[in-house]
């Protein structure tokens, strides 16, 4: 017979305790052969380690400071212990603290600084007490440990000093020499903090939240193309543009920042992934390399028999974007509206009366070729369209027949002469299209007129409108349109030109096309604005991706303020370009994907490098 009060009761083991025992058993099995504790490190499996304890914090915590610690590109592990702090204990301790501070304030032995500090601590304690009692806010016991690992003493010292430097902005870190092994054990994933008495700190939920800077410092998609290397983690940045809401991207960076290199790498990888790639190239940066890759290098110039696109060509189909919808529109009317913008760029002083008169002339010049709104443009050959000379001759004929209309367009007609007859720019603009777009990789080189401001705007706009029509009337296969030096088209006097780029981006995304906007002058880009909208900014806002590369500090401040990037001082310093370190800074900047941001370093593959840096255009013959 068993006597109840003499029976030994078995101790009840909680689930948590059972897991702890199991964890210790697992750790014992996988632990290194030896752990050596020295005065300034714990040597584990051939690695030198130090576990830093954060034992004190500033009165005001900064999430930005803690984030810099988590972003360190070092061999460190950050461990946090958090537990609820019982409210009754909180109140008891706060009461004691308030009494002690009141005593310090009233003591005749307390000096000015001591009294002021006691007063400030009292105010903080009273606010905390108010939040705990009346607002029911929770308090937590928070502990932060940073485990540093290196393969040598010297490397460990460097990592530790760097960690202490970052921690110094929000607290104080120590290495507990007498409890180094306990600190080492505390970072193991078994939820056993052996240095609790050195590390615990009561904190409000708001303060604790700062220890979790929820930011994504990795951008890696399973498919897509390489963007470069994440400077904070050394991992690659990889993006599948087909999964994004659009494929548009913006590149901002001054000359020498690596902007053109970045654009070139993206064009190569787009082409490799099966995209058609069109590049408007104002400075002849990409043509030779594209030609070597099997693409077409189309050079526009002022010489006779130069490549040319007839600005009067009408597409078989035209669409407009309205409130997110794509609506069909009459091709001829759409073309006349586009020509109106072109001629405003040619003659920025054009007023409303001149524009109205010119539009009537455009309709008339098409009628002379038996073309009107009912024409089936799929049946029209490119030699059936009028050319610029026809418009010039029509307006000239008014000189005798319709003097009043002629006088309205007199100045415009005089300017038009340079683009017709034997004018300087006639070979570029006056004639039928002699360019075919049958290649999947095409560079439109307009460097011949890069230093002629008015003309480069015209040829760039003409190419934009022509390529827009090509994309709309294409087969819908994936394509990318890169517009280098986009700020060229930004004319404060002709804001509608940048508005056209904005509308183009909205339209072509519905036809599986992404637009790459590259500029070395954000201020010029953002100069195209009217009383209602900044269309340069609207163009930049269309892109879900953005690469910002180094630039002058003044430009960094301008971009940060205008685009509301909320860059920290460290971020601004990182983007500020210095002549002494220009080569080292090239290709390093920020990559934005929606609201995600990483520090990016662009790199080229060996083959891309041969083409871009070495200018070895015969590299494919050597393979």
pLDDT tens column, 442-464: 999 999 999 999 899 999 999 99
User: Using 50, 70 and 90 to split pLDDT, how confident is the model at 202?
Assistant: confident
Return the structure tokens found at 563.
């685009």
Burial 8-46 (b: 16+ CB within 10 A, else e): eeeeeeeeeeeeeeeeeeeeeeeeeeeeeeeeebbbbee
Return the structure tokens found at 448.
């011949």
pLDDT of residue 249: 98
- Closest to 53 (Cα-Cα) out of 239, 249, 200, 161: 200
State whether 333 and 200 are in the same domain: no
User: Using 50, 70 and 90 to split pLDDT, how confident is the model at 509?
Assistant: very high
State whether 64 and 197 are in the same domain: yes
Of 155, 181, 210, the residue at which a domain comes to its end is 210
Q: What is the pLDDT of residues 390-443, one digit of tens each?
A: 999 999 999 999 999 999 999 999 999 999 988 999 999 999 999 989 999 999
| CATH number of the domain encompassing residue 349 | 1.10.8.730
155 domain-assigned: yes
Cα distances (Å, whole numbers) of residue 21 to 18, 24, 175, 190, 283: 5, 5, 28, 9, 69
The pTM for the full model equals 0.73
Strands (E), 171-311: 171-174, 201-204, 225-230, 236-239, 249-252, 276-281, 296-299
580 domain-assigned: no
Q: Is the pLDDT of residue 322 over 90?
A: no
User: Using 50, 70 and 90 to split pLDDT, how confident is the model at 113?
Assistant: low
Rounded average pLDDT over 99-119: 70
118 domain-assigned: yes
State whether 42 and 190 are in the same domain: yes
pLDDT of residue 11: 58
Return the structure tokens found at 600.
């990016």
Cβ burial, residue 422 (10 Å; 0-12/13-18/19+): exposed
Handedness of CA 351, 356, 362, 368 (dihedral sign): negative
Q: Is the pLDDT of residue 125 over 80?
A: no
Tell me which residue range forms the domain holding 364: 325-434
Rounded average pLDDT over 13-19: 60
Q: Which of 36-50, 357-371, 467-481 has the lowest mean pLDDT?
A: 36-50
pLDDT of residue 214: 54
Q: What is the pLDDT of residues 247-295, one digit of tens each?
A: 999 999 999 999 999 999 999 999 999 999 999 999 999 999 999 999 9
CA atoms within 13 A on the CB side of 105: 14
Number of H helices, E strands in the chain: 24, 20
State whether 335 and 202 are in the same domain: no
Q: What is the pLDDT of residues 211-239, one digit of tens each?
A: 776 555 789 999 889 999 998 888 899 99
pLDDT of residue 211: 76
383 domain-assigned: yes
Of 210, 233, 252, the residue at which a domain comes to its end is 210
127 domain-assigned: yes
Of 434, 460, 477, the residue at which a domain comes to its end is 434
Mapped onto helix, strand or coil, the DSSP state of residue 257 is coil
What is the tally of structural domains in the chain? 2
390 domain-assigned: yes
Mapped onto helix, strand or coil, the DSSP state of residue 126 is helix
- Express as a percent the part of the chain with pLDDT over 70: 88
174 domain-assigned: yes
User: Using 50, 70 and 90 to split pLDDT, how confident is the model at 325?
Assistant: confident
Rounded average pLDDT over 572-593: 91
- Nearby residues of 455 by Cβ (< 8 Å), 6 or more positions away: 425, 428, 449
pLDDT of residue 5: 44
Rounded average pLDDT over 545-554: 95
State whether 47 and 185 are in the same domain: yes
User: Using 50, 70 and 90 to split pLDDT, how confident is the model at 35?
Assistant: confident
248 domain-assigned: no
pLDDT of residue 409: 97
């Amino acid at each position: 017979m068993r006597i109840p009060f003499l029976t030994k009761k078995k101790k009840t083991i909680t689930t948590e305790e059972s897991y702890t025992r199991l964890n210790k058993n697992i750790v014992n099995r996988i632990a290194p052969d030896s752990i050596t504790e020295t005065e300034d490190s714990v040597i584990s499996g051939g690695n030198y380690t130090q576990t830093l304890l954060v034992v004190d914090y500033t009165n005001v915590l900064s999430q930005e400071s803690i984030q810099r610690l988590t972003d360190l590109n070092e061999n460190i592990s950050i461990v946090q212990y958090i537990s609820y702090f019982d409210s009754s204990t909180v109140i008891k301790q706060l009461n004691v603290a308030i009494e002690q501070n009141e005593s310090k304030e009233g003591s005749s032995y307390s000096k000015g600084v001591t009294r002021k500090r006691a007063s400030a601590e009292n105010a903080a304690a009273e606010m905390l007490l108010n939040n705990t009692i009346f607002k029911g806010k929770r308090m937590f016991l928070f502990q932060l440990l940073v485990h540093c690992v290196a393969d040598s003493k010297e490397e460990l010292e460097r990592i530790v000093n760097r960690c202490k430097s970052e921690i110094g902005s929000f607290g104080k870190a120590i290495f507990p020499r007498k409890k180094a092994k306990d600190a080492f054990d505390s970072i193991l994933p078994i939820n056993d903090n052996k240095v609790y008495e050195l590390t615990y700190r009561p904190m409000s939920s708001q303060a604790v939240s700062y220890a979790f800077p929820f930011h994504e410092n990795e951008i890696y998609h399973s498919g897509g193309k390489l963007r470069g290397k994440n400077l904070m983690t050394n991992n690659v940045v990889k993006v599948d543009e087909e999964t994004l809401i659009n494929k548009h991207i913006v590149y901002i960076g001054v000359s020498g920042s690596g902007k053109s290199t970045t654009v070139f790498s993206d064009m190569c990888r787009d082409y490799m992934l099966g995209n058609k790639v069109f590049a408007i190239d104002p400075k002849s940066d990409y043509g030779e390399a594209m030609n070597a890759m099997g693409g077409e290098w189309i050079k526009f110039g002022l010489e006779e028999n130069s490549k040319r696109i007839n600005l009067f060509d009408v597409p078989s189909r035209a669409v407009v974007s309205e409130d997110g919808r794509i609506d069909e529109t009459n091709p001829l009317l759409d073309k006349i509206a586009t020509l109106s913008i072109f001629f405003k760029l040619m003659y920025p002083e054009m007023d409303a009366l001149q524009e109205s008169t010119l539009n009537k002339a455009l309709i008339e010049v098409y009628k002379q070729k038996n073309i009107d709104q009912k024409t089936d443009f799929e049946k029209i050959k490119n030699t059936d369209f009028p050319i610029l000379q026809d418009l010039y001759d029509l307006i000239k004929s008014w000189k005798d027949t319709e003097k009043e209309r002629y006088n309205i367009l007199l100045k415009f007609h005089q300017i038009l002469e340079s683009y017709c007859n034997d004018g300087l720019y006639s070979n570029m603009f006056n004639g039928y299209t002699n360019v075919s777009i049958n290649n999947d990789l095409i560079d439109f080189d307009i460097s011949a007129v890069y230093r002629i401001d008015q003309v480069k705007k015209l040829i760039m706009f003409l190419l934009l409108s022509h390529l827009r029509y090509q994309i709309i009337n294409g087969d819908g296969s994936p394509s990318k349109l890169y517009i280098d030096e986009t700020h060229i088209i930004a004319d404060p006097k002709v804001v509608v030109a940048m508005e056209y780029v904005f509308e183009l981006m909205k339209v072509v995304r519905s036809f599986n096309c992404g637009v790459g906007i590259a500029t070395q002058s954000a201020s010029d880009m953002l100069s195209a604005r009217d009383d209602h909208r900044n269309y340069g900014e609207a163009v930049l806002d269309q892109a879900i991706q953005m690469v910002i590369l180094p630039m002058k500090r003044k430009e960094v401040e301008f971009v940060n303020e205008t685009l509301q990037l909320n860059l920290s001082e460290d971020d601004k310093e990182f983007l500020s370009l210095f002549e002494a370190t220009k080569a080292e800074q090239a290709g390093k900047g920020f990559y934005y994907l929606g609201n995600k941001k990483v520090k990016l370093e662009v790199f080229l593959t060996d083959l891309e490098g041969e083409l871009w840096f070495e200018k070895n255009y015969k590299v494919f013959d050597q393979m």
